[in-house]
Amino acid sequence: MKIVQLITQMDTVGGAQVHVRDIAHGQEKIGHTIYLVAGGNESNHDIFGKDKSNLIYSNYLIRSLHLIWDLKAVFEIRKIIKEIGPDLIATHSSKAGVIGRIAGWTLNIPTIFTAHGWSFTEGVQNKKKWFYILIEKAIGLISDGVITVSKYDEQLALRYKVLPKRKIITIHNGVHDIQVNKKVEYVDRVPKIIMVARFAPPKKQLQLLDALNRIRNIPWEMYFAGEGVQLEEAKNFVEHADLMNRVHFLGNREDINDLLNKSHIFVLLSEWEGLPLSILEAMRSSLPIIASDVGGVKEAVLQSINGYVIPRNDSSDLIDKLTILLTSPELRLEMGNKSRLSYENNFTYDKMQEETLDYYEKVIQTKKNKYL
């Protein structure tokens, strides 16, 4: 197949960007021709390293709403796609999802949108939520198919009737396997907690820091990987709480897998999510998880099996679950092993890629049959 992968931005490293990079490289390796179209410019697309073949830059595709630029983006993307002549357009992120589906509809090319978490998910302000719902309902009329990365997001779309059930499918995110060190827990070792996330909404590093400050009598070390606009606020909290020797800010790191392998507990606190790749990566590394009950998190983190899902903003429950895992090395090991098993059965890259390509072919065939 000749496939266009379209995403709004590739100049930040988030779950959608990593997903597109991995799926594009994987599809290319098995013989498909992939064109990746993204907003920005060449200097900002470091996520691809030196391999930037078939990467096309859009001058007008930007994240924020801008009527004139958005109209220009529709015509620009339409022109790019028409010149490529793909069998299918796969779009990712809200803005590219709308513009790409309009362009594909005008060219009569099958177009799929992958929702890496809806813009109208729980936790989003009501005014914004209903604005995005109306947009998705309108664009759903010309959508050929939608992939959600969690059952939660599929049910959310059906609840708000943004598109009919026949046009939507859930394909869970998946990540490539790595060499994992066998976990050994020692009673006298200080447990290492890790959170891998940008210091920006919807992530909630400050909630975690506040909870850890309240259980400072228990041995622990905290490692944050990531940067962002809220980093300085977090550093100030640590300094004022006199936790500088126990909290470590690592910045953006290329060795996340090694950091996970050396950790004992993974935490991800958020206001909203789709199905976070960082949780799947932690499960792959045999870690117990503590995460906010948002989006599709409960589809990966099974309560009291491979970790704990806590109500959003419930600091009391967070402290309780942190205390349990910090003081129970045997439980950490047991839950970590169950994380790894769940990853192997449900969240591998190969499983995701196979299901995705099957759905691509189904949408292409459905479109053909419609005009026979």
Closest C-alpha among 249, 266, 248 to residue 257: 266
Residue 9: per-residue pLDDT: 87
Closest C-alpha among 276, 285, 7, 38 to residue 150: 276
Alpha-carbon gap, residue 275 to 19, rounded angstroms: 11
Select from 3.40.390.10, 2.60.40.10, 3.40.50.2000, 3.40.50.1580 the CATH code of 192-346. Answer: 3.40.50.2000
Domain ranges in the chain are: 2-174+349-370, 192-346
Residue 46: per-residue pLDDT: 52
Residue 123: per-residue pLDDT: 77
Per-residue pLDDT of 319-333, as tens digits, reads 999 999 999 999 999
Whole-prediction pTM: 0.91
Say how many C-beta atoms besides its own lie within 10 A of residue 132's C-beta.
18
Common-topology check for domains 2-174+349-370 and 192-346: yes
Task: Return the CATH class of domain 2-174+349-370.
Answer: alpha beta
Residue 183: per-residue pLDDT: 63
Residue 371: per-residue pLDDT: 64
What separation, in Å, do the N-terminal and C-terminal C-alpha atoms of the chain show?
A: 21
